[in-house]
Structure 1
């Protein structure tokens, strides 16, 4: 999360540095970290434009492949007690805009995070399974180079080889082979062709190709 603060500016930076993030910090410590052990792909105070070209901030955005999940933390009373009718309407419009823009939305109360963190963890993991993110835990635990290999393979329409990966990412062939095999074992990419027991080419799991 420190890297996100360093890379932020303007209103997002102010929000990330605010002392009023008790609920969000507790969510990270007692819910997200025990479930995933990593903050990769989770973005705090995520900034996005709405349909009126204004800026909105999500408590957290969890983005993996083409799936975008908005996670909102709602302390009892604080979100609605001090707002007027117009602001209340705007909050509902905000939620609807997210849904119309193909965001998935999860909401947790501060009380649930404090007293039922395990239930919150289970909800997130169930959502990951329902929305086709079964490999989430493996993906979050990849080391940076391994993640870079996975991301590059996912973006390719054609089959890839250890040599093509090595050239694209400027790593040696042995390293690319090691991580390609590791990603296959974790179920994140698929072998596409073999010579005996040796895998010669690989493909993205999302690819429509069949094994050759």
Structure 2
């Protein structure tokens, strides 16, 4: 099935399982922004909507019901995904609404959900960034089931380490983080340089490489 057919079946399937306000909210709430996310971001990654729930109902700390744009529920993760437009989420938000939104996200985290948000403008006009960021989040839960080699897992972890440290990497950083020997650390960094993900920096003499800088677009490799 193409996207339109799969998306229509996806919404119809959830609508048939719901009644009352849950069904009404799906009909009213799943609009342009949510469909664009489905097309530009989720479909681009998965080409299906397995385990994705639109207009997902949860309770807040007061026991009040509210609906999240999407939830991705598997045995390994409970992920809430929100698509936020500038108007309702920034321009038109007062102090109390702002506090409530932050408290809600903190409460959901405490209840075992991971909450991530995308700006509508990015979903509509820069979906490749959203796709890369979502792939990064999901890879933490899918790596065990993905047919990747040990070298690929190691390379991804080195890229994550570089973003986490926020500075150029040295081989000793890799050795301490992954528990590998110096030769393996250097060889893996050289492979990443050959792939264009890192750039090597040599001493002033130019004889020895001492640090490795990660390229700004390296997130696409995670």
TM-score bin (small chain): 0.5 to 0.7
- 2:35 corresponds to 1:25: yes
Tell which deviates more after alignment, 23-32 or 45-54. 45-54
Give 1:35-114 correspondences, 5 Å limit.
35-114=45-124
Whole-Å separation in 1 of the counterparts to 2:113 and 2:67: 14
Q: Matches of 1:34 and 1:66 in 2, distance apart?
A: 22
Deviations 1:25-46 (A, max 9, x none): 1101111112101011000010
Structure 1 residues not aligned, in runs of 5+: 139-212
Query: Over alpha carbons, which structure has the higher Rg?
Result: 2
Contact kept? 1:75, 1:111, Cα under 8 Å: yes
CA 1:94–1:110: 2 relative to 1, 3 Å: same
Contact between 1:36 and 1:137, CA under 8 Å: does it hold in 2?
no
Identify, as 1 or 2, the structure richer in helix. Answer: 2
Encode CA deviations 1:101-121: one digit per residue, 9 max, x unaligned.
121111101110111112211
- The answer to whether structure 1 residue 116 and structure 2 residue 132 are counterparts is no
TM-score w.r.t. length of structure 1: 0.59
Partner Cα distance (2:90, 2:74) in 1: 31
Once residues 56 and 94 of structure 1 are traced to their aligned partners in structure 2, the CA distance between those partners, rounded to angstroms, is 10
Within a 5 Å distance, the mapping from 1:193-212 to structure 2 comes to none
The alignment's C-alpha RMSD in Å is 2.0
CA distances 1:54-103 after superposition (whole Å, capped 9, x unpaired) = 11211100011141000000011222433432222111111110111121
Report the secondary structure of 1:129's partner residue. Answer: helix
TM-score (norm. length: structure 2)? 0.57
SS at match of 2:28: coil
